[in-house]
Structures are given as structure tokens and as C-alpha cells.
């Protein structure tokens, strides 16, 4: 897809001025960001180690265990001993938000519906200090092996990995909390260099993703316990993959859309969103474009 086609899609959702702002954000070089794995280390220890390696970083106001790396790339960080032994995990800031919104507690029975490579699975395990029971599903065999590798490396416990299509999960299962970070077009992660989109992105991918998202979300609602929480997220900023699906299933299942704490995530650049309770993040040098909504099953 060329830039003009992308602009046309975005303008149908946002109009010309906001689209111009989005495109500008996609052209910025995004900082590498990391999460301290609190199952194996602490933020103070990690910062001290980064200081000794000449790494400049920023703290993140809404997450005490996250850092923005200002002067080093992923390759440098991957060569650090604390990365190789699982004390830190490279993860986009946007990707860290859904697990925080879940408000994971010890004793929760949790489903991570499309879990690989395990960023949010291991984050939820850390937030519960390995005291939650997590089922992590991944359809792709190779990606499910990567998921298992990361779980083991980060010493996340009480996690069962299922290599299957989540849409086929038996509905005798039931969960207290479900995270559906759905497969999507990746429109929020697009990078534009030299006026070219360097990611694999197409109208066909949007349509295919949308159908899978709806099927997965429908399954999640069915196996969520009444009165409990479902967090739906995508790294897309398209209404077709986000607001449109949520509004459709809200009516079908009488779901309650819960307000995400705006004060906690103050300072994050946002895009206009039809669902006022949701969080729709604008892509820029700090954040991938990302959609997160918190639902309760009545």
C-alpha cells in the first residue's frame, strides 16, 4: 500500500488534520523501551547497571518498572547480561498498558487469548508475583515455542500454554479475567521512511484481521465469568478493528464499557475515539498507535 492509500483510510476515520498528525508520528524514530522483570530484578538495580554502561534513560510516569532508552538501540540492549538472563524485557510502552488496566491480583484465573511472544503474559505473572493462574493460547507452533521460551527465561510461573486456535477453545472453560490483545493490521505500528511504508500492510490484512478479532472476542465473552473483566486491545488505530467491533458486541452481549483511569495515563498523546471510556494512543516517538478498552460482562 502506498502513502496516499493509507492517508485515504485514515482520513475516513479522522479527517485531514488529525491524519496529517498521525503520519508525522509514523515518520519519527521510536525510542526503544523496556520493562524490568520484577520476578528477577528491581528497577533500582537495573538503572544502576544502565548507568555503568553509559545508557541514558527516562522513567515512565504511569509505570515505575518501565524505562525509555534514549541513546542505545535494541541490539545493544540484547547484548547486556541482564537482558540475556531475563531481568529486563524489551517491550513497547503501549503494549504494557493492557496488563496494567487488567488490575491483576493474586489468585486470579486469567486467559491470555493470543499470547505470543509472551510480553503481556509474563507481565501479568510479574504483576501478580507469580500468584495468578494464567492460560496462554497461541495458534502458531513456532510462536508458541517462543512464548514458552520467554516464560521460562523470565521465570514466570503458574502458566499453562495451549498451542491451538483460541476460537476453538472449549466453552466449559471459564475465567475471572481475559486479555485479548487481538491479531490486527498493525496500523498503529507503521513506520514511514523516505515516504514509503516499510511494514506489511494492506486492505486485505485489515479485513482478515477484523473477522478474526470479532470471532475471538465473541469466544472470550462466552467463557468470561459474569461480572468479570475483559480487556481488548490492538496495535491498530482503525475504527473498523476497534470501536466498530466493540460497539457491535456490546449490543449483542450487553457488555458494560468501563472507564479507563485518565489521570493515571495523563500525558499520553491520544486520538479522538467514539468510545469515550477507551484509550486510543497516537503514534509518536514514544508510543505505538494502540487501542485499549475495558469491558465487564453483565
pLDDT in the model for residue 194: 83
Q: Is the pLDDT of residue 198 over 80?
A: no
Average pLDDT over residues 233-255: 97
Q: Is the pLDDT of residue 63 over 90?
A: yes
Q: Which of 184, 220, 235, 273 is catalytic?
A: 235
pLDDT in the model for residue 197: 87
Q: Is the pLDDT of residue 77 over 90?
A: yes
Average pLDDT over residues 242-266: 95
| Alpha-carbon gap, residue 22 to 287, rounded angstroms | 12
pLDDT in tens, 8-45: 999 999 999 999 999 999 999 999 999 999 999 999 99
pLDDT in the model for residue 228: 97
Question: For 82-165, where are the E strands, in sequence order?
Answer: 88-90, 109-112, 133-137, 159-162
| Alpha-carbon gap, residue 246 to 296, rounded angstroms | 12
pTM tops 0.85, yes or no: yes
How many other CB atoms sit within 10 Å of the CB of residue 112? 32
pLDDT in the model for residue 246: 98
pLDDT in the model for residue 1: 86
Q: Is the pLDDT of residue 195 over 90?
A: no
235 is catalytic: yes
- Looking at residue 285, the DSSP 8-state letter turns out to be S
Q: Which domains does the chain have, with CATH numbers?
A: 3-30+93-297 (3.40.50.150), 31-91 (3.30.70.1170)
pLDDT in the model for residue 114: 97
pLDDT band at 196 (very low <50, low <70, confident <90, very high): confident
pLDDT in the model for residue 15: 97
Contact 222, 278 (CB under 8 A): no
Task: Write out the H or E segment, with its range, that includes residue 248.
Answer: helix 243-253
Q: Is the pLDDT of residue 199 over 90?
A: no
pLDDT in the model for residue 278: 98
Average pLDDT over residues 264-285: 96
Rg of the chain in Å (alpha carbons): 19
Residues 6+ apart with CB under 8 A from 247: 274, 275
pLDDT band at 200 (very low <50, low <70, confident <90, very high): confident
Grid cell locating 14: 479522522
Provide the 3-class DSSP secondary structure of residue 254. coil
Average pLDDT over residues 222-227: 97
pLDDT in the model for residue 169: 96
Contact 211, 204 (CB under 8 A): no
In 3D space, the residue among 244, 241, 132 whose CA is nearest the CA of residue 182 turns out to be 241
Amino acid at each position: 500500500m502506498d502513502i496516499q492509500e493509507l492517508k485515504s483510510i485514515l482520513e475516513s476515520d479522522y479527517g485531514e488534520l488529525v491524519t496529517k498528525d498521525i503520519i508525522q508520528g509514523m515518520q519519527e524514530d521510536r525510542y526503544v523501551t523496556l520493562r524490568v522483570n520484577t520476578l528477577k530484578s528491581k528497577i533500582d538495580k537495573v538503572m544502576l547497571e544502565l548507568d555503568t554502561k553509559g545508557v541514558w534513560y527516562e522513567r515512565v510516569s504511569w509505570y515505575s518498572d518501565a524505562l525509555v532508552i534514549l541513546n542505545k538501540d535494541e541490539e545493544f540492549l540484547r547484548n547486556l547480561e541482564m537482558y540475556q538472563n531475563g531481568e529486563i524485557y524489551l517491550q513497547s510502552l503501549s503494549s504494557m498498558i493492557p496488563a496494567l488496566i487488567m488490575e491483576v491480583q493474586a489468585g486470579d484465573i486469567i486467559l491470555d487469548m493470543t499470547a505470543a511472544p509472551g510480553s503481556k503474559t509474563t507481565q501479568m505473572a510479574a504483576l501478580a508475583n507469580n500468584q495468578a493462574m494464567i492460560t496462554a493460547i497461541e495458534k502458531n507452533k513456532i510462536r508458541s515455542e517462543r512464548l514458552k521460551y520467554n516464560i521460562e527465561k523470565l521465570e514466570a510461573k503458574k502458566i499453562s500454554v495451549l498451542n491451538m486456535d483460541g476460537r476453538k477453545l472449549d466453552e466449559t472453560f471459564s475465567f475471572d479475567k481475559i486479555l485479548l490483545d487481538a491479531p490486527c493490521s498493525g496500523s498503529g505500528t507503521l513506520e514511514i521512511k523516505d515516504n514509503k511504508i516499510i511494514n506489511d500492510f494492506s486492505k486485505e490484512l485489515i479485513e482478515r484481521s477484523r473477522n478474526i478479532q470479532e470471532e475471538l472476542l465473541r469466544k472470550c465473552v462466552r467463557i468470561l465469568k459474569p461480572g468479570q473483566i475483559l480487556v481488548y486491545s490492538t496495535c491498530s488505530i482503525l475504527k473498523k478493528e476497534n470501536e466498530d467491533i466493540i460497539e457491535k458486541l456490546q449490543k449483542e452481549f450487553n457488555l458494560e464499557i468501563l472507564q479507563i483511569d485518565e489521570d493515571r495515563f495523563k500525558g499520553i498523546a491520544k486520538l479522538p475515539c467514539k468510545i469515550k471510556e477507551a484509550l486510543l494512543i497516537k503514534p509518536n516517538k514514544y508510543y505505538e498507535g494502540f487501542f485499549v478498552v475495558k469491558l465487564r460482562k453483565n
